Chain A
Amino acid sequence: MREQDPVERSRNFEEVACGYHPDDAMRESERCLMCPDQPCVSGCPVGIDIPGFIRKIGEKDLRGAYDILTETSLLPAICGRVCPQENQCEGVCTVGESLEPVAIGRLERFVGDAAIREGWVNIPYIEANRFKVGIVGSGPAGMACAADMAKAGCEVTVFEAFHQPGGVLRYGIPDFRLPNAVIDAEIGNLRKLGVRFECNTLVGRLFTIEQMITEMGYDSVFVGVGAGYPTMLGIPGDSLNGVLSANELLTRCNLMRAKEFPNFDTPQPIGKRVAVVGAGNTAMDAMRVCLRLGAEKVYCIYRRSRKEAPARAEEVHHAEQEGVEYHWLTNPVAVLDDGHGNVRGMRCVRMELGEPDESGRRRPVQVADSEFDFEADLIVYAIGTNANPIMGQTSKLELNKWGYIQTDHSLATSMAGVFAGGDIVTGAATVIEAMGAGRKAAASMKAYLGLRDSALPYASGGEKLFGIDTRERNFARVRVA
């Protein structure tokens, strides 16, 4: 796949990976062995029929490929871009045992982009069933749940605290990895299914979950409010000006479009020398945003080694190409001030890997007398998030000891009719996992409401007439896109 030149792209916000040319996609699809045991499918958290859609690409039937993808995944153009494929589908691809694995994610994106370009949508029969469903949070979990409930005929309203829907896809992941146009297209598809979006609505404070069930007439509610609450390191100097969370940096830049300051009002903190602590996707995004905003030096400070870095391999590589300097096995111990409340630099120690801990990763231990200082004027923490407290503060939903919402295996919460999924249940995870949770909760919600179509439209291999699944035997009003 063609990519923008690293030097050039590190100064703009255009997408880095340019997507496949149709010929490349054809060539790549031919590398798939159509393995009978389909290891890749079990590697995908939602079990997409991967050889199935790749075969359709080979047959030049992109619409057919799209139909197969959307039987399982709501957001192929998004997951194809942001899934950590090397740990999921591509990580277990048979071809990968000896060669590069089949580029499943890129092929998926290729099909998803084609669908957006051509305006394809798969709108099934929708028979209104008078049930009202409320979705709290418009991230991937909420979007997936909303789509399934709308397809089942419910009247679905998504409530979002921000002024634009999309969750982390919108405020966290930058344009050069996931352009806004792609998110808009997917939100547009949801609207075509009849989903309503109510932005600027802070559920819990404007009205509570209890009120949704008791006063507002919602028959069932899904809570997908994400994790959010960023962690600080808790070292001296944390509150100096110039120390901020990656969430703040990214929200200012992406959602508030501070990168277009002063045409947009929100100020963007930017430094000449930036140190980002952490090596997950959030850290990579923060570093690459800083480069694009004009930072001269961007350091990545991570206490383990490259092998343990939680970010997608492609992002670690892209960031390196663009000029990020990695400092593996390095742990910050203090942020240094300039005497006026601003950041002057950082003090770190070197680490080495010791015995494995509970998670199986080798625990980093400090190397004696390895302290050193370096200069920096912006420090960004990307070391993970905790559960957002608002739901716990405003409802009787049971939480676990870390503050995440407690659910059973069907994603039901302690409150009848209320389901939850995504980061607010599992802690920070991935887009596709959040989406899968949204769909799983939708299945449980349908069971709860006594709606019995859950299995049908998603089983593969159904006959289709004008894009409508002929096994759906109801003869009600068809809503046309």
Chain B
Amino acid sequence: MSHYEIVSREDFSEVTYLLEIRHPMMARAAKPGQFVMVMLNEQGERIPLTIADFDGEKGTITLVIQAVGKTTRQMQQECLVGTSLYALVGPMGVPSPISHARKVLCVGGGLGVAPIFPQARGYKEAGAYVIGVVGFRNKDLVFWDEKFRDCCDELIVCTDDGSLGIKGLVTAGILQAIEKHPDIEEVVAIGPPIMMKGCADTTRPYNIKTMVSLNPVMVDGTGMCGGCRVKIGDQVKFACVDGPDFDGHQVDFDDLMMRLRRYTRTERQALDHWEKGCNLTKSIAGSVEALIPVQALSAA
């Protein structure tokens, strides 16, 4: 029944992989900042993933996924070239407003490196001077640096251990860029909530407009369930239809992070149930563990 075929795949590391999926109509419609909802199979959960790239001519969209739990790990195992997804809906969400700012800083951390790419490219195409800041845990996890170099006028790579580029978090990269370019008009930051919070805090004193892309738990992605509600200033917004991009200086990140932990227990259960039924190697499981501290912070 389904016809969302995976046409290519690339594994960036033990936990990060790229899927290129055929969907000509979506490839033409997609704009930077939008996302899709994916179901691997009929029993699966609907999970939101950002459209990391789209190619109208080839008729494909690209997703870059981090294996953090049941669904994303099962996809890592089962989504091979030639297989199909059960469901793929999108593009969802309000496209990022690519403004006419002349100098823009695009910041991607971990999970957010891929989704920041279409924005960086969008700004480049709109004629902006684009400075990219991408952050990884270490040199082995780095991907797409070539792609970024193509569309960024400057690229700052940050690694936690200093194995490539500057040592430190992306916020260090932001500060470095701001120092060199006091005329940066806009910052766009995508990554784990804790990182986006850091970015917003970093730019606040400079009063630079900072957009972030929020990733609350979603069910339908069409504005029907309210599960994705986030606090923006004194208002409640639904990230899937009112966002996912919001003004980072207005976002209540603590609320977002607390709400992301809603289903930690059941998610764990789903993973255990699935692992019992398959022979995932211990080593992968181990490295995944290391990657989810954000979500696991206070898993009850």
Contacts and interface: CB of A to CB of B under 8 A. Distances in A.
A248 B87 contact: no
B219 A264 contact: no
B217 to A, nearest CB: 9
B137 interface: no
B45 interface: yes
Given A265-B71, A390-B223, 6 more contacts: A206-B26, A229-B223, A229-B238, A239-B231, A247-B224, A341-B259
Nearest to A267: B266
Interface centre among A257, A266, A340 (most CB of B within 10 A): A266
A251 interface: yes
Contacts of B89: 161-163, 200-202
A374 interface: no
Interface of B: 25-26, 29, 34, 39, 43-46, 70-71, 86-94, 219-220, 222-227, 229, 231, 236, 238, 241-242, 255, 258-259, 261-263, 266-267, 269-270, 273-274, 298, 300
Contacts of B229: 232, 239
B262 A161 contact: no
Interface in A217-276: 226, 228-230, 232, 234, 238-239, 241-242, 244-245, 247-248, 251-252, 256-257, 261-269
Contact of B43 (A252, A265, A388, A389): A265
Contact of B225 (A199, A248, A262): A248
Majority DSSP secondary structure for residues of A touching B:
loop
A96 to B, nearest CB: 37
Contacts, number: 129
10 contacts: A161-B222, A163-B39, A200-B87, A230-B225, A241-B258, A244-B227, A269-B263, A389-B223, A389-B242, A390-B241
Interface centre among B70, B226, B273 (most CB of A within 10 A): B226
Given A267-B263, A269-B262, A244 B226 contact: yes
A252 B298 contact: no
Given A252-B219, A265-B45, A205 B224 contact: no
Given A206-B29, A241-B258, A261-B270, A247 B225 contact: yes
Interface in A381-400: 388-390, 393
A120 interface: no
Contact of A265 (B70, B93, B236, B258): B70
Interface centre among A162, A234, A389 (most CB of B within 10 A): A162
Given A241-B262, A266-B45, A230 B236 contact: no
Given A232-B229, A247-B225, A162 B220 contact: yes
A341 B43 CA distance: 30
A263 B220 CA distance: 20
B300 A340 contact: yes
Nearest to A201: B89
B223 A388 contact: yes
Contacts of B45: 256, 265-267
Contact of B91 (A205, A262, A265): A205
A458 interface: no
A372 interface: no
Interface string A16-59: 00000000000000000000000000000000000000000000
Given A163-B86, A262-B270, A239 B259 contact: yes
Contacts of A390: 222-223, 241
Given A161-B89, A206-B90, A261-B266, A266 B25 contact: no
A203 to B, nearest CB: 10
B238 to A, nearest CB: 7
**Nearest 5 CB-CB pairings of A with B:** A267-B266, A248-B225, A262-B273, A265-B45, A341-B258
Contact of B224 (A229, A239, A267, A269): A229
Contacts of A261: 266, 269-270
B70 to A, nearest CB: 6
A74 B258 CA distance: 46
A205 B298 contact: no
Interface in A184-217: 199-202, 205-207
B226 A248 contact: yes
Interface in A115-161: 161
Given A239-B231, A267-B267, A248 B219 contact: yes
A200 B88 contact: yes
Contacts of B46: 256, 266
Contacts of B222: 161-162, 202, 228, 388, 390
Interface centre among A251, A265, A269, A393 (most CB of B within 10 A): A265
A268 B258 CA distance: 18
B226 A230 contact: yes
A202 B92 contact: yes
A264 B43 contact: yes
Interface centre among B46, B222, B231, B300 (most CB of A within 10 A): B222
Given A261-B266, A269-B263, A389-B223, A206 B241 contact: no
B296 to A, nearest CB: 15
B167 to A, nearest CB: 34
A168 to B, nearest CB: 10
Nearest to A168: B224
A200 B26 CA distance: 11
B110 to A, nearest CB: 23
Interface in A317-374: 340-341
A324 B97 CA distance: 48
B86 to A, nearest CB: 7
B241 A207 contact: no
Given A248-B219, A265-B70, A340-B300, A230 B255 contact: no
Contacts of A226: 224
A162 to B, nearest CB: 7
Contacts of B261: 241, 341
Contacts of A161: 89, 220, 222
